[in-house]
Amino acid sequence: MSEDKTLGQNEKKLRQEGVNVDWFLQNLSCLTNSSDLEFGVTLNVSGQTISGTMIGGKKYFEMFAELFSDEWPADEKDAIREIFVKNADVYTLKEGEKILPPTQYVHLKDARVFHGDTKLPNDDGMLWRGKINAISGFHLGELT
């Protein structure tokens, strides 16, 4: 199959089905994955509003490992943390790589889910991970 024919089929599919991933949000997520950049964002996901600070996947998994391991007995804590922190390796450039592959997930810290005038949790928030293709819209800045 020629490259021109493949491109034509891809364009036809795109016109029929639309875009499943917001390329701009994906680029912002890639930026946080490849740097220490963090910024406030509010997302619309399945009719819910989720607001927090967008962070990179590496930081997300490091924080997750720390929080998760805190719930284990002291003699098991370090081993459990090491198991879960290994997930952060996905967000580390391998030798010869110049950029990370396009991300499929957004990671938030201090996230809150808003349902009407109620926010959950109502304290400092939580870690949140969601698929980019499930997000229907976003804006910069957090809801307070």
The model's pTM: 0.82
Contacts of 128 (CB under 8 A, 6+ apart): 50, 52, 107, 108, 109, 111
- Domains of the chain by start residue, with CATH: 20-140 (2.30.30.100)
The predicted-structure confidence for 33-86, as pLDDT tens digits, reads as follows: 988 999 999 999 988 999 999 999 999 999 999 999 998 898 999 999 999 999
pLDDT at 10 > cutoff 70: no
Q: What is the CA radius of gyration of the chain?
A: 18
Q: Which residue has the tokens 């391998």?
A: 94
Greater confidence (10 vs 6) lies with: 10
